[in-house]
Chain A
Amino acid sequence: GESVGLHLPTLSVQEGDNSIINCAYSNSASDYFIWYKQESGKGPQFIIDIRSNMDKRQGQRVTVLLNKTVKHLSLQIAATQPGDSAVYFCAENIRAGSYQLTFGKGTKLSVIP
């Protein structure tokens, strides 16, 4: 089965609201996690990453939370904008130093103007 999965396939939010996208992983040996954004017809775009020795990491309008106890990862987007509409993937690096990524199926975020 898949090592990384997502709880919700679609998410609709009002412009200006905060978005939370969730991800579950099963490989306890993974030490590095990344969130990617993929717009239609484009390749995945790096958003933010976090290492397994951290619980939280913040970027510009985005925050990633890692709960190793329950093997859960989340991406929070503050003040969601129409340009945030895309499919979001979490990925885990299953081999340290190798950058061999395992992706989940993705969550489609739709922002309602």
Chain B
Amino acid sequence: DAGVTQSPTHLIKTRGQQVTLRCSPKSGHDTVSWYQQALGQGPQFIFQYYEEEERQRGNFPDRFSGHQFPNYSSELNVNALLLGDSALYLCASSRNRVDTEAFFGQGTRLTVV
């Protein structure tokens, strides 16, 4: 059983560009959350998707948007990239309204130059 998979693993973009990151949740999970982890910091919650809708959002600007597909996979889009967007982007999957462990993917390392 594959866990949470993210692609790509590494990405380099230029300021002002747009980026799309992808996540496939663990089998049986229907909820996907995205986190941003700056170097030396803990992950910060960006938003969460369930039933193809954004259910909750952290303190991130509208440049950060997402999507969830019928198969529960998800995308994170970031527009107008800033140098400060350089970070490890983590996807976590869980089952809706079930307080059990969330499984994290290995992350996508985004570098903005």
Contacts and interface: CB of A to CB of B under 8 A. Distances in A.
Query: Are A and B bound to each other?
Result: yes
Contact of B102 (A41, A46, A89): A46
Given A43-B106, A93-B99, A99 B42 contact: no
What interface size band does chain B fall in?
Answer: 20 to 34
Nearest to A42: B106
A98 B106 contact: no
A105 B42 contact: yes
B48 interface: yes
Contacts of A91: 42
B97 A103 contact: no
A105 B41 contact: yes
Interface in A16-60: 32, 34, 36, 41-46, 49, 51
Contacts of A32: 99
A95 B97 contact: no
Contacts of A101: 33, 35, 43, 45, 92, 102
Contacts of B41: 105-106
Given A36-B104, A89-B42, 15 more contacts: A32-B99, A42-B106, A43-B104, A43-B107, A44-B104, A96-B99, A97-B97, A98-B55, A98-B56, A98-B97, A99-B31, A99-B99, A101-B45, A105-B40, A106-B40
Interface of B: 4, 31, 33, 35, 40-45, 48, 55-56, 58, 90, 92, 94, 97-107
Interface of A: 4, 32, 34, 36, 41-46, 49, 51, 89, 91, 93, 95-106
11 contacts: A42-B107, A43-B90, A43-B104, A44-B104, A46-B101, A46-B102, A98-B56, A100-B56, A101-B43, A104-B42, A105-B40
Sort A-B residue pairs by CB-CB distance and give the 9 closest, nearest first.
A103-B42, A43-B104, A46-B101, A97-B97, A99-B94, A44-B104, A43-B106, A103-B43, A43-B107
